[in-house]
Structure 1
Amino acid sequence: MVLRVIDGDTIEVRGDGQVVPKDRVARVRLLEIDTPEQGACFADDATARTATLLPPGSRARAERDTQLVDRYDRYLLYLWNEQGTFVNESLVRSGHAEATLYPPNDKYWSRISGAENTARQDSAGLWSACPDASIKSPTPSETPATDTPAHPNLPDGPPAGIPDVDCSDLSGPVWVGPDDPHRLDNDGDGIGCDAN
């Protein structure tokens, strides 16, 4: 059962014993998608859309892929709501999320990445609402040359290549530097998840 929506790609559930152990309260990170981080363009819209698809109190059918739980103890899942809508794909197709691959979990990649192609062509959701049509961080070659801030006495942020991490998954501010693979730094100072 869905207990609450944390953000566009993360919810909290109570397990029914099928994938998540019975009665266990767990965070679920939707696989193969990424929604804008809180405070970023279209983040509130993405969270609201997820809440519409998976309202608290509703039931969802879950399917796992190769990796079930990440290092943040989140279940990595594909979800279908009570109406049979494939939520991961629906969020991408409506432009509320981008297709994002985190191997080895790739079971529905062609379907979800195809949904992104459709959303981009239709200028759906974030593809028309946000000045930078991609919520992904720029590559180093696209990043403007600026002075890199000094590394403060903070823990390093999560590395790239793991399922996307949101500030709600971390215990406090982290050093992300200029790369910021999970877009945790809203003000560009190299520190993610600070109060800004």
Structure 2
Amino acid sequence: MLRIIDGDTLEVRGDGRILPKDTVARVRLLEIDTPERGACFADSATARTTTLLPPGSRIRAERDVELTDRYDRYLLYVWNVQGTFVNESLVRSGHAEAVLYPPNDKYWTKITNAEDHAQQTGAGLWTTCPEQPETSSTPPTSPDSPAPDTPARPDLPDGPPAGVPDMDCSDLPGPVWVGPDDPHRLDRDGDGIGCDAN
């Protein structure tokens, strides 16, 4: 374990089993999503991940069907030296939501059960944040409602599309245009620009 980038993204040194030996790699924890930097409960999620995976500690990692995403992050399930399943623990304590990006679904039942427990007990972000995590960035729109009056921003690159593993602002080089559709919840203030607070 080298460092925690945010609540669901780590930097580790490979030991030759899953990650190439001595390679420094970015790891995205599978089946979960923590709040973006600057959003409600983001600092708490990062602190909790740091407590579970202190820099310098060893981890045990397990892969699923897809090992990497299009951004060259390794997609893994992680256990700490005490044997705690970190992905599940973050969801159970309310520091993360369960998010599925098929085909990586090996522990989906376990992680969604952890989320049910967190919601029922009001753990973490489920009661601390003023809105439910799914709706924290932009209000939902119905198919009949007009699109928000937000101008296009051709001077910014497009944000990552839906359907790829979840992206965080720490995975992107700077601000991106997400418009009214923000599948990765990168736009905290609803202005159509994601990661503009980096």
Moved more, 183-192 or 33-42: 183-192
Q: Is the 8 A contact 1:139 1:179 kept in 2?
A: no
Could you tell me which runs of 5 or more consecutive residues in structure 2 were left unpaired when the two chains were aligned: none
Residue in 1 aligned with 2:168? Answer: 166
1:111-142 deviation line (CA, Å, top 9, x unaligned): 00010000000000000100012245554329
Q: Is the 8 A contact 1:35 1:135 kept in 2?
A: no
Residue in 2 aligned with 1:20? Answer: 19
- TM-score normalised according to structure 1 size: 0.94
Q: Is the 8 A contact 1:36 1:135 kept in 2?
A: no
Aligned residues: 195
Q: Tell me how far 1:163 sits from its aligned partner.
A: 1.1
Cα distance in structure 1, aligned partners of 2:66 and 2:192: 30
Residue in 2 aligned with 1:65? Answer: 64
Moved more, 40-49 or 167-176: 167-176
Q: Tell me how far 1:63 sits from its aligned partner.
A: 0.2
Q: Tell me how far 1:193 sits from its aligned partner.
A: 1.3
Q: Is the 8 A contact 2:148 2:180 kept in 1?
A: no
Runs (4+) off by over 3 Å: 135-140, 142-146
Q: Tell me how far 1:149 sits from its aligned partner.
A: 2.6
- TM-score normalised according to structure 2 size: 0.93
Cα distance in structure 2, aligned partners of 1:29 and 1:110: 19
Residue in 2 aligned with 1:41? Answer: 40
Specify whether residues 12 and 144 from structure 1 end up closer, same or farther in structure 2 by C-alpha distance, changes over 3 A only.
Answer: farther
The 3-state SS of whatever aligns with 1:66 is coil
Residue in 2 aligned with 1:104? Answer: 103
Which runs of structure 2 are paired with 1:66-85 in the superposition (5 Å)? Answer: 66-85=65-84
Cα-Cα RMSD = 1.7
Could you tell me which runs of 5 or more consecutive residues in structure 1 were left unpaired when the two chains were aligned: none
Identical pairs, percent: 77
Which structure has more strand as a fraction of its residues?
Answer: 1
Residue in 2 aligned with 1:185? Answer: 187
